[in-house]
Amino acid sequence: MGKHAFIFPGQGAQFSSMGKNLYETSSQAQEMYEQANEILGFRISDIMFSGTDEDLKQTKVTQPAVFLHSVIAFKVMGEFSPGMVAGHSLGEFSALVANECLSFEDGLRLVKARAFAMQHACDTDPGTMAAILGLDDSKVEEICDSIEEEEVVAANYNCPGQLVISGSLKGVEIACERLKAAGAKRALPLPVGGAFHSPLMVHAEEELIAAIESAAFRHPRCPVYQNVVAHAVNRPAEIKVNLIHQLTGPVRWTQCVQAMIADGADRFTECGPGKVLQGLVQKINKEVAVDGIS
């Protein structure tokens, strides 16, 4: 019997009116949204249900919004007992609430702290990201490493042939030119305000440490496959360290999914807005069953 894996999306999956149907049909969802409004100090439910795409794009709104949609969908849509969990970047916090390592309240407080820390880092060290399509991971890494005068690294290993790079504005620009010259099908600049998952996020990492140290991490009910290590993790102390390093380290999504399948996952359910992760899982392995709860 295979294992049922639950996966949670990150920033970029948000859309206007997200979560509204859950709020209107579930008293548990209403309670959780009202609790979230109180913890965040503003009515995020109003922005999610009736704000514009532009309103939703602010990091301090986007991150808690995606987290809330994912966690509330998971809690309200059924009695699930995951065999394993993983999340893409921000989604790792949703995954840790799903496997009961973090409470909903602590998870949301950490996401709030992370969003503010990242926004602060973006303002201090402007940077950007770009999606590189149709080139081997090793080639992308090699070219990024060759640019010594600027900061640029491989940041998100999304699926074979799709890798996102991250770094200074100049570094990403130089890398895109060199990667296209090396045969990349496309090098698409992403509409982000910062160099997420790169050393330019070091100030955000420092700000997040205090928040993570003050949260209560319990022993999870099933392993989490964390972005920076791409293998099963069960120990709270190790989970905390990996969460801190996640801001400056890469999202090894391809490797996480491969490790989950190697450990017995044969069904993946994406919880939260959009279907991005379902598409990535299918590109990584066509044999596994994929569905979603939005």
Q: Which of 110, 118, 124, 128 is nearest to 204 (CA)?
A: 118
Residue 4 appears among annotated catalytic residues: no
Query: Inter-axis angle of helices 27-40 and 104-124, to 10 degrees?
Result: 40
CA angle 199, 202, 204 (to 5 degrees): 130
Residue 120 appears among annotated catalytic residues: no
Catalytic residue among 197, 198, 203, 294: 197
Catalytic residue among 45, 70, 89, 94: 89
Residues annotated as part of the active site:
89, 197
